[in-house]
Structures are given as structure tokens and as C-alpha cells.
Structure 1
Amino acid sequence: MEISALQKERAGYQPKLPKALQGAVKIKEGEPTKSVDNQDDIKKLFPNTYGMPLVEFVPTDKTESKAVNVGVILSGGQAPGGHNVISGLFDELKKLNPNNRLYGFLMGPGGLVDHNYIEITADFVQQYRNTGGFDMIGSGRTKLEQVEQFEKGLEIIRQLDINAIVIIGGDDSNTNACVLAEYYAAKKYGVQVIGCPKTIDGDLKNDQIETSFGFDTATKTYSELIGNIERDCNSARKYWHFIKLMGRSASHIALECALQTQPNICLVSEEIQAKDQTLNDIIEHIAGIIAHRAAQGNNYGVVLIPEGLIEFIPAVGRLIQELNDLLASHGADYKDLEPAAQREYILTHLSAGNRSTFETLPEGVAHQLSLDRDPHGNVQVSLIETEKLISEMVGAKLAQWKKEGKYNGKYSALHHFFGYEGRCAAPSNFDADYCYALGVSAVQLIANDKTGYMAIVKNTTASTDEWKAGGVPITMMMNMEKRNGEMKPVIRKALVELDGAPFKEFAARRDSWARETNYVYPGPIQYWGPADICDRTTKTLQLEQAK
């Protein structure tokens, strides 16, 4: 495999571990836990893995360890640092017992079901240390939720004498990990299941998970690109750049990138929902800022838009909810119709209020909202060109104002969508260290006979030595939500908190960013140099931890 000079140098980087994970480890158990909501329902669904205590790893003199073989799965979208989780798993397994083995199931959870795997060896893992992507074993979006899948997976688990499965994924993947852990525990199969918190979106976060891995690297990557565009914008002084950023369910990426780059406008979906704003409210807000800057002779600027914005506009959100139910129950009647007939079918089946909203949407957007859902039952919002929709509607509003004599500037828009550009970047030092520590923690959870836990690392704005590692029962993070027309147990997504420190910091400064040109150009991720540049965490984490 050909490697770049950067990859060659990065291969030699030894991730830093918390003191508690540097030698032999024992666990300190906390109080029993309960789910964040719907306690009775969750307890009934997970009787064998509910109510377990939080655990923290502390140093010990004990060194003996049982022999274990472990299988690892990368699940869902890519996030920088996944290879370091696997590196941490491998190194810690071999440290505990050189005879321990690590198997990688190929192309996601489907690899377990279909018995596609490789053994991960020292030479093999060496090629992937501190690299981005999931290409070591590939990823996939197969959902583990059927008994036949669990039993089919068990066949290869028994064949390879595997004691535990580690699932590296986001909230849906870790929900599946919890379901699998419960099934194997109920059957007394003796197979442990451990999760690791991954998603660049930043919405797998709570009191126990300070940040999901990949968020740090992805937002630094996007912020470099946004900064480059801001500098170009400030050089040419003739374009408004509308930039859509990943984040279907929450606006953490957009908010973090705004804090790093100080654009003229950043929309936060959660605020729009809380204020019950309409699409027209949003358009008038943006057009008003453009008009104000034009009056100062500044016919240019940068707008950040979260990918999931459309779903958060309350009227559109209500429409989507009814469409989800409609497609879940009548999808078979609908899917083979021609586009015009599909539109007519939807209009005749919607309630009056939602029909009115559907009719007022641009036809392309309305069509996208009525397409097939993703495997988790969600609208595929990445297919909706929200940035173009908004810039065109803003252009129409400005043209109307020009006729009315309210606006006399020039408006020219350019569009960008930053998504895949950030998912496989070489991990920052923070993500390289954090992911490696998560891998080591996962092995220690296995060595201490835990199942249905997610590996966690806390105190992450302190120096790496002072990070605290342990595990949280996955059931603690769960509640019941409607998916594909049915109530299902899922890990609760973390949205941007409007009374949280990151949003408050943004809200306090955005008016001056709108009026003035206060762009910040973060530049590329730095891997070597002063720690305050190379090891710094996200603005979000700094503000949340008040450091």
C-alpha cells in the first residue's frame, strides 16, 4: 500500500493515555443507573442489562488476565479516529495476553451476520495507526435487530472462540449493540457486547459522554475550508457563500464551525424550532443582514446552514412526521406511482394543515421529503439542497425589496456542501488520543466481565494524563421514540442546548459578525508543535467544560 509522507510520519505517533490506563487496571463501581426517560418501558425491554452501575478504571498492582478473543465492527458513517480505536483494542489485548486475538468483521454489522472477517495482526494494524477513514475493515449500515441475525452471528463467534464484540458507532449503532448485548445475556451465551461513541455530528453526547469521536477533527477540517472561503470572500468582495454542513439531527457542527470562523450568519436549527420560525422568517432574517451589509458597501458574506434545517422548521417538521407515518403504513401503495401521481396521492392523504405546508414548498423539496427513508426511518436530508433553496428564496426576497426601493445592493450567491470532506480526515491529536483511550477502555470493560456498556473517557479538556476512563451502561442513555411508525428504544440524541455555554457565546457575538467582517482563518490541523495549537479541543468542549 502506497503511503504519503504525512501518513509515514503519523504512523510513529504514540497516542497519549490517561494515567489510569497506563498500567494494570481495576474497576471502581458507582451507583446503579436508570434510563433518561421511559424507565419502566426500557427496564422491561432490557431486564438483563438495565440498572447496571457506572464504572471507572483506577490503577492496581494486579496483572493476571484471562485469555480473550474479540471481534470489532465499524458501523455507520465514517469518523476520523476509528482506526485508533482498533489500534487501542489490539495493543491492550496483546498487552493483557499475547495469545489474545482480534478479528475485524468486514463492511459493518453485515460482516458478523455473513461471516466475513479478517484477523487483525501487528503488521496489518501498523498500516492504519493515526489514519483517517474506516478502510481497515470497512463500514456498513446493516441494522442488528433480528433474532436470526443474532443467531447467525453467534455461529462465527463460536467458530472463532470470540468472547466479546465491540461495536464502534453512533446512537443507532450503539442502540443495536445494546439490543444484541441483552439478547446474548438473556440466552446466557457468555458473549459480551461493548460500544464506542462515534459520530462527527456531535449528537452522541450526555453527562457521561463529553464528545463523540471524530467531531474534533471534522469540525477543524470544515473550519479550515470555511476560513479559506472567508478569505476568498474578503478578497473578491462580490459573493455570498451559502455553506451547508453535516448534521442531520443537530446543529453542533455548524455551531462549532461558527465559533471557530466567525461567519456573518449561522443558522441553528434548534433555535429556529424553539422560536417557531417559518421558512419566510428565516429568509427575511438573512435578507435583512445582506441588505444591511450592502448599505455599507459590502456585497459579500458567508452563511452556515445545518444539513437538517428543513426538519426543524416547525410546520415542515409536522409535515415530515405525518409523511413518515404515511410512508410507513402505505409505502407499498405509493412507491410504484409516477412522480405526479405520488404528489397527488400525498396531497389526498395529508391533513389540511400539512397539505397546505406541502403545497407551499418548492416542488423539488416537496419531492425529496416524500422519497424513501434511510434505514433508520429518517428523511434523507443530505439530498435536499437546502443551501440553494435558501439562497434562491433570499434572492427573490431581495429582488422584491429592490422593486419596493428597500434594497439597492448586488447579490450573487455561490453554494457549498461540506460533508464527506471531513469524515475521513487524518485524526487530530485529540481524536488520535481519545480514540486510542476508548479502545483500551473497551478491552478493560471486557476483561472485567462487563456487557451492554459503552466505553467512555472524561475530563477531556485537562491534560491527557488527567483524563478519566470507564464505562456507562447503554440503557442509561435510552428512551422510547417513534421510528418507522413504531415506538422503539433508542439512545437519545443530544441537540444544541440554547441555554448552554457554546450557544450563549455564539448568540452574544453574532450581531457584530453580521454587521462587520470579523472572519477568523483557522488553517489546517496541526500535528507537531506547541500543545496549545496541536492538542487543543473544540470551542464547544472548552465552553461546556468552562476551561
Structure 2
Amino acid sequence: MSISPLQKARAAYAPKLPPALAGGANVKVNEGVPTTAVADVEKIRAIFKTTFGSPVLTFEAGGSAAAKAINVGVILSGGQAPGGHNVIAGLYDGLKSLNKTNKLYGFLKGPDGLVKDEYMELTDAIIDAHRNTGGFDMIGSGRTKLETDEQFEAARRHCEALGISALVIIGGDDSNTNACMLAEYFKSHSIPIQVIGCPKTIDGDLKNEWIETSFGFDTACRVYSELIGNIGRDANSAKKYWHFIKLMGRSASHIALECALQTQPNIAIISEEVAEKKMTLGQIVDEIAAVVAARSAAGMNFGVALIPEGLIEFVPEIKVLISELNDLLAANAEKVDAMEKADKVKFALANLTKESAAVFATLPAGIQMQLCNDRDPHGNVQVSLIETEKMLAEMVATKLKAMKAEGKFNGKFSTQVHFFGYEGRCAAPSNYDADYCYSLGYNAAALIGAGRTGYMSSVRNTTKPASEWIAGGIPITMMMNIERRHGHDKPVIRKALVELDGKPFAFFASKRGEWAKETAYVYPGPIQYFGPSEVCDLVTKTLMLEQSK
């Protein structure tokens, strides 16, 4: 297989480790006090009878006991995130440091591979070919949920057949919730298989005091910020376009906020603020139009606006509209499916409540069509397919046209729309993610060596040099709360949304008025892997601000 010069050079990069792991994954374990859950404590305690209340662990170098040979399984779960291969490489090297005869099996295509007994043994050659690379192509990933006793029993059978005594699940909040459920099942049934989780998601919404960031967030934001910087340069060169850019992040706006901090666009909408202020779609459009008009009056008929993917679901009136549409279209599925596209829109307008019909009528025709036609197998509107960037661009244009008629706008408004998503999910990991991911994997091996289960690998203090990083583990149960899912109470890891009273948003809020008026774009450029530390070993603005004193 042909590889690029960069791939060849990156293969030789040796990721850094926290000092506790530098001598191998056999470590001294320091236990904290028993833990609780973030909410719904008694309900979580009742579900996780054997794993609830475990202590936070901190590792130190100094373990010396010889470890018996073990076999371990690893699973990549959910969407791709830069650095996944390095988690597996770190896990592999950590296991080999415990005992050179230890084996690592990769279950193929995600949790489905565990349930269907599809796997491959990971060898030196396979691991070495994937060090410091992006993607999940080493073993593939999938979105199958592990949540039934039948699946847990299949997992037990297949692990026992391979002699596997520990599983590492690399995934986001749902995947690690499933890992916690599996750990509880095994432990409560006296099945000697440990389960360890690793925090993955480019969306950045799996974090807390002990998990500073989810892996992949750093790299993805740098990829998007490079593109946004390029577009900002183009906007300031051509001076004739407003660029509306939608960014990944359906449940939280961490990516939009981080990219705004890196590139200083004229507008960046934060969904959590929209929800907090109970803003209408009309108010969002009015605010954007006001910035466009002000810049135009200053002779600048161009700009850059960042929009989080999940914005539409944070607008209260749109949330109500979508809920009504879901019910209306599901209740009349046969009738609606037989209609022409335009007739579906008329049917919706005629049968929605007065308030929702009024909101629906303000939307561009193309968005109305999407809402009525693009439904998932359950009959629900596919919100992720809504072209929010195009919708806002069209609605702002309509608003400016009205303002022009009133003599409140005399400029020009031409738009370009973009969606940056898949571009960032499989990039070669930044030095930060390469180091962090390798450490998370190596640390997972240390948790296995320490005999723990139901834990998430935790590496902290990462704004400092790796020589000051702190390795350990946290019980996944302490991140849990109860949420209503499909009519049932479910234990889930609480998503971390953008905190409006947090330092990253506060800094952004203090600067956005200035960025709206001026052309203050920053051009981050491509990820740098080689060169001075101040260029290559950056951490996100979000993390720097959160960790600042």
C-alpha cells in the first residue's frame, strides 16, 4: 500500500505518556473516597448495585507484581474521531508492558462484532501500520447498542471462547453508558470479565472534572478552523460574500464555540444560549441581519457566520413544530405518503396548531419540503438533514429585502453556504490527540492490570507538558443520570453542554461585539506536526480557558 511522506514521518512519532505510565502499565493505585452520581442517585444506585460508589483512582509509578497472561478485546463504537488508532496502540503497548504474551483482539464493525463473534487478533504489524493515523479502519466501528441480556450473554460466550478477561469500549456517552451496563451485568453475575471505557467524540460533550476533553475534539476543531480561516481570507479578499458555515455538534455547541475562539468570525450562534434566552427563529434572523446591515453601512458587504448543526432543536418554537409534525405525519402516514411533495406542505399548514403553522409558514419552501418528506424509519423528521445554514441565509436575505424597502439597508447581500462535518472526523490526529489518545489506551491497560471494571480511562492536567499529566480512572456510574428515552427511564451519561457561565463562553461573549463590527479573522492554518512546541503542541482555546486560574 502506498503511503504519503507525511504518513511515513508520522509513523515514527513516539507519543508522550504521563509519568505514572512511563515505566509500564503496572502501577501503584491510590483510591479516593466512594463516589455518587451526578443526579438521580438512588435510581442509579438501584440499577448499578455492584459497580455504584467505586472510588476515583489516581496512578503512580511503582507497581512491581508480575502479571499473569491475559487476553483483552477492544471495540470502536459510534462515529469516527481522530486518535482512535492511538488508543488501541496505547492499549496494546500497555498490555505488552504487563506481560509480553498478552493478546489483544479487535471486534470488527463495532459492538456488532462482539455480538456476532467477528474479530481479528491485533499484531505488531497491524498496530505499527496504524500508529498516529486517523480513521477507524483498523477494525471498523458501528452504532449497535449493547443493552439487552441477550447481547450481554452473547458477549460473555464470545469472550470466553477467546479467553478474553477484559473488554475496552472506545466511544461516546451512549457507548460508555452501554459499557457501564455490561460491566454491571458481568459483575452481578460473577462473570470474570472487566469492562473499561475510553472517552471519544469530536462533539466535545463527554467531559467533566475528571475527563477534561473527549479525544478527537482537538483535531476536528483544528481541521474546521483551518477551513474557516481560509474562507475568512477569501471573504476579505473578494469582499462580496457572506459565508454561512454549519459545523458538527447536534447536542452541544462546543465545536462552534471552539472554532469561533480560534478564528474570530463575525457571527457565531451558540445553541445553548438560544435555548436559555428562549429565542425565536425570527429573533435569530433579526440579530444576524442587524450585523450584516451594520457591516454593510461600514462598507463591508461580506462576513462569516458559524452555525451549530443542532441549532434548530434548541429553538423552542421549532422544537414544538417538529414534535407536532412528527405526530401529524405518523398519524396520517398512509395518506401523506400518497401525496405529492407540495401537497404535504399544504396538509401540514392546514393541520398544525395556529402557532406552529405560523412558524412553519415563515420557513423557506425547501426547508418546508425537507420537514415533510425526510423522515426516519420511525416516522420522525430527520433534523440532522435540515440545511440550517441555507435556511438562515435565505431568511436573512428576506429580512434584508424588507429592511431595504423600509430604507434601513442599502447594501448588497450574497451568500455561500457550507457544512463542515466528515472533513474532521478522520484527520491524522494532532500532537495533542496523538499523545492524549495513546495515554488513554495505555491507561486503560493499567486499569485492567489493577483489576478494575466499570471505569473510564482518565488523563488530566493536559494543558501542562505530558510530564505533568495525571493518569487514573473514574467510575462511569458517577457520570450518570436518568433521562426519558422512548417513553422509558434510562440511565445515561449526562451530556456536557456549553456552560453559559463558563470561561470559554464568557470570553467569546466579551469579544463577539468587536468581531461583528471589525474584520478580525484569525487564520490558524493546517495542523502542524513538526517544529517548535508553541506551534505543534497546542491545546484547544476551550481547554486553556477552562483550566486557567
Q: Report TM bin, short chain.
A: over 0.9
Which residues of 2 match residues 338-487 of structure 1 at below 5 A?
338=339, 353-354=355-356, 356-358=358-360, 360-362=362-364, 364-366=366-368, 368-369=370-371, 371-373=374-376, 380-487=382-489
1:540 paired residue number: 542
1:147 paired residue number: 149
Structure 2 residue 114 is the aligned partner of structure 1 residue 112: yes
Compared CA separation, residues 510 and 43, structure 1 to 2 (3 A): same
2:528 paired residue number: 526
Task: Give the conservation status (yes or no) of the 8 Å contact 1:324–1:485.
Answer: no
User: In the aligned structure 2, how far is the partner of 1:496 from the partner of 1:239?
Assistant: 29
Task: Give the conservation status (yes or no) of the 8 Å contact 1:481–1:490.
Answer: yes
Aligned to 1:256, the other structure's residue is in SS state helix
Compared CA separation, residues 337 and 118, structure 1 to 2 (3 A): farther
Deviation for aligned residue 1:319 = 3.7
1:260 paired residue number: 262
User: In the aligned structure 1, how far is the partner of 2:361 from the partner of 2:167?
Assistant: 48
Task: Give the conservation status (yes or no) of the 8 Å contact 1:248–1:381.
Answer: no
Deviation for aligned residue 1:454 = 0.7
2:494 to 492, 495, 500: 492
Structure 1 length normalisation: TM-score?
0.95
1:289 paired residue number: 291
Deviation for aligned residue 1:153 = 2.0
Deviation for aligned residue 1:150 = 1.4
Compared CA separation, residues 355 and 540, structure 1 to 2 (3 A): same
User: In the aligned structure 1, how far is the partner of 2:445 from the partner of 2:542?
Assistant: 29
2:124 paired residue number: 122
User: In the aligned structure 2, how far is the partner of 1:488 from the partner of 1:330?
Assistant: 26
Compared CA separation, residues 336 and 115, structure 1 to 2 (3 A): farther
Task: Give the conservation status (yes or no) of the 8 Å contact 1:200–1:423.
Answer: yes
Aligned to 1:224, the other structure's residue is in SS state helix
Which residues of 2 match residues 128-207 of structure 1 at below 5 A?
128-207=130-209
1:66 paired residue number: 68
Amino acid paired to 1:410: K
User: In the aligned structure 2, how far is the partner of 1:246 from the partner of 1:141?
Assistant: 18
Compared CA separation, residues 145 and 331, structure 1 to 2 (3 A): farther
User: In the aligned structure 1, how far is the partner of 2:8 from the partner of 2:287?
Assistant: 48
User: In the aligned structure 1, how far is the partner of 2:493 from the partner of 2:326?
Assistant: 20
Amino acid paired to 1:152: A
Aligned to 2:191, the other structure's residue is in SS state coil
User: In the aligned structure 2, how far is the partner of 1:403 from the partner of 1:155?
Assistant: 72
Compared CA separation, residues 338 and 75, structure 1 to 2 (3 A): farther
Cα deviations across residues 248-271 of structure 1 (Å, max 9, x unaligned)? 011100110010000111111111
1:237 paired residue number: 239
User: In the aligned structure 2, how far is the partner of 1:334 from the partner of 1:198?
Assistant: 42
Task: Give the conservation status (yes or no) of the 8 Å contact 2:363–2:395.
Answer: no
Amino acid paired to 2:4: S
Cα deviations across residues 412-462 of structure 1 (Å, max 9, x unaligned)? 100110000000000000000000000011111111111111101111111
Mean alpha-carbon deviation: is it higher for 408-417 or for 365-374? 365-374
Structure 2 residue 31 is the aligned partner of structure 1 residue 18: no
Amino acid paired to 1:536: L
Deviation for aligned residue 1:66 = 2.3
User: In the aligned structure 1, how far is the partner of 2:282 from the partner of 2:297?
Assistant: 22
Residues paired across the two proteins, number: 545
Task: Give the conservation status (yes or no) of the 8 Å contact 1:307–1:381.
Answer: no
1:506 to 486, 505, 508: 508
User: In the aligned structure 2, how far is the partner of 1:266 from the partner of 1:224?
Assistant: 16
Cα deviations across residues 77-129 of structure 1 (Å, max 9, x unaligned)? 10000000000010011111111000001111111111111100001110000
Cα deviations across residues 478-532 of structure 1 (Å, max 9, x unaligned)? 1111222322111111111111100011111111111110110000111111111
User: In the aligned structure 2, how far is the partner of 1:331 from the partner of 1:204?
Assistant: 38
User: In the aligned structure 2, how far is the partner of 1:344 from the partner of 1:44?
Assistant: 49
Structure 2 residue 221 is the aligned partner of structure 1 residue 248: no
Compared CA separation, residues 90 and 320, structure 1 to 2 (3 A): same
User: In the aligned structure 1, how far is the partner of 2:542 from the partner of 2:463?
Assistant: 11
Task: Give the conservation status (yes or no) of the 8 Å contact 2:30–2:58.
Answer: yes
Task: Give the conservation status (yes or no) of the 8 Å contact 2:74–2:105.
Answer: yes
User: In the aligned structure 2, how far is the partner of 1:537 from the partner of 1:392?
Assistant: 36
Cα deviations across residues 22-76 of structure 1 (Å, max 9, x unaligned)? 1241211111111111111111111111111111111114141122211101010
| Structure 2: stretches of 5+ with no match in the other structure | none
User: In the aligned structure 2, how far is the partner of 1:91 from the partner of 1:335?
Assistant: 57
User: In the aligned structure 2, how far is the partner of 1:481 from the partner of 1:358?
Assistant: 29
| Structure 1: stretches of 5+ with no match in the other structure | none
Task: Give the conservation status (yes or no) of the 8 Å contact 2:364–2:394.
Answer: no
Compared CA separation, residues 72 and 338, structure 1 to 2 (3 A): farther
The alignment yields a C-alpha RMSD, in angstroms, of 2.3
2:221 to 219, 222, 225: 219
Mean alpha-carbon deviation: is it higher for 435-444 or for 57-66? 57-66
Aligned to 1:244, the other structure's residue is in SS state strand
User: In the aligned structure 2, how far is the partner of 1:72 from the partner of 1:285?
Assistant: 48
1:32 to 27, 31, 34: 34
User: In the aligned structure 2, how far is the partner of 1:473 from the partner of 1:322?
Assistant: 39
Deviation for aligned residue 1:148 = 1.4
Compared CA separation, residues 374 and 272, structure 1 to 2 (3 A): farther
User: In the aligned structure 1, how far is the partner of 2:326 from the partner of 2:482?
Assistant: 17
Task: Give the conservation status (yes or no) of the 8 Å contact 2:30–2:59.
Answer: yes
User: In the aligned structure 2, how far is the partner of 1:330 from the partner of 1:277?
Assistant: 30
Amino acid paired to 2:253: S
User: In the aligned structure 1, how far is the partner of 2:294 from the partner of 2:72?
Assistant: 60
Amino acid paired to 1:7: Q
Structure 2 length normalisation: TM-score?
0.94
Amino acid paired to 1:524: P
Compared CA separation, residues 140 and 332, structure 1 to 2 (3 A): farther
Amino acid paired to 2:159: I
Amino acid paired to 1:22: A
2:8 paired residue number: 8
1:309 paired residue number: 311
Amino acid paired to 2:44: I
Query: How high is the sequence identity, in percent, across the aligned residues?
Result: 62
Compared CA separation, residues 408 and 380, structure 1 to 2 (3 A): same
